[in-house]
Amino acid sequence: MAGYGWDDADRDALETLRPLLDAGGYLPWSEWALRPAALAAVCNEIVVAGRREVVELGSGVSTVVLGRLLGQRGGRLTSVEHDQAWAGVVRGLLESEGLTEPARLIEGPLEPRPLALDGARWYPESALAELPAEIDLLLVDGPPGNEEGIERSRHPALPVLGERLGPGAIVVLDDAKRPGEQAILERWSMEYPDWAFTTRDEGIAIGVRAA
């Protein structure tokens, strides 16, 4: 676990998340997974703010944990995954726990998109068409954005899905302290001045629309 770059806040978050982590089978943590502290922050948003329509770009451990939480509380997670093999792993976990109702996984191979920067690819329109019309929480943890030359691959999330974010909705950008994600936040702030983003210690940035 130490190899994932976790700190004391993550270890504390694991205890906070323990009821959800123990509610099902083994979860394949990796260095690409949402940090426990970040995952706990997202769970808190669902519980405290009563967010019921959650969309996640990029799937993994978070998909299963959020599926468990929304299955308990009522609500729905729709996750978009570009990697077919990994989507099969995550879908298998959801099916094994009977979570396919509260957590839906959509596959969509990356393709050139007009709003993608640096020649990056993004999710296809066919996958986005299956997302809910109104979103309470948009979790942006994909596509991969740490490759040299395409660090800003997650930029299209707000331009494409922003109109689906209802009153009081939030955007959560993972890996927010990386240079690419910092550049995305700067660009979003210029393009959408009605949104304000705060980078947090958990490694995420949370955006809210100004009242």
Q: Does domain 2-209 have CATH number 3.20.20.70?
A: no
Instruction: Give the DSSP H/E element, type plus range, for residue 55.
Output: strand 53-57
pLDDT for the residue numbered 31: 81
Residue found by looking up tokens 């405290």 in the block: 48
pLDDT recorded at residue 103: 98
Spatial contact of 209 and 164, defined as CB atoms under 8 Å apart: no
**pTM of the predicted structure, to 2 decimals:** 0.95
Neighbours of 163 (CB within 10 A): 11
Weakly modelled stretches of the chain, pLDDT under 50: 1-3
Q: Name the amino acid, one letter, at 145.
A: G
List the Cα angle 31/160/177 in 5-degree steps.
Answer: 35
Residue 193, both tokens: 């001045």
Q: What pLDDT is attached to residue 147?
A: 74
- Position 150 scores a pLDDT of 83
Dist. CA 184–CA 179, nearest whole Å: 9
Phi/psi of residue 120, each to 5°? -70, 160
**Could you give the CA distance from residue 35 to residue 4 in angstroms, rounded to a whole number?**
8
* All structural domains of the chain with their residue ranges: 2-209
The whole-number pLDDT of residue 211 equals 66
Cβ atoms of 71 and 48 closer than 8 Å: no
pLDDT in tens, 13-61: 999 999 999 999 999 988 888 999 999 999 999 999 999 999 999 999 9
Helix (H), strand (E) at residue 65: helix 61-73
Which of these, 130, 204, 139, lies nearest to 169 by C-alpha position?
139
Question: What's the CA gap between 44 and 211, in Å, rounded?
Answer: 22
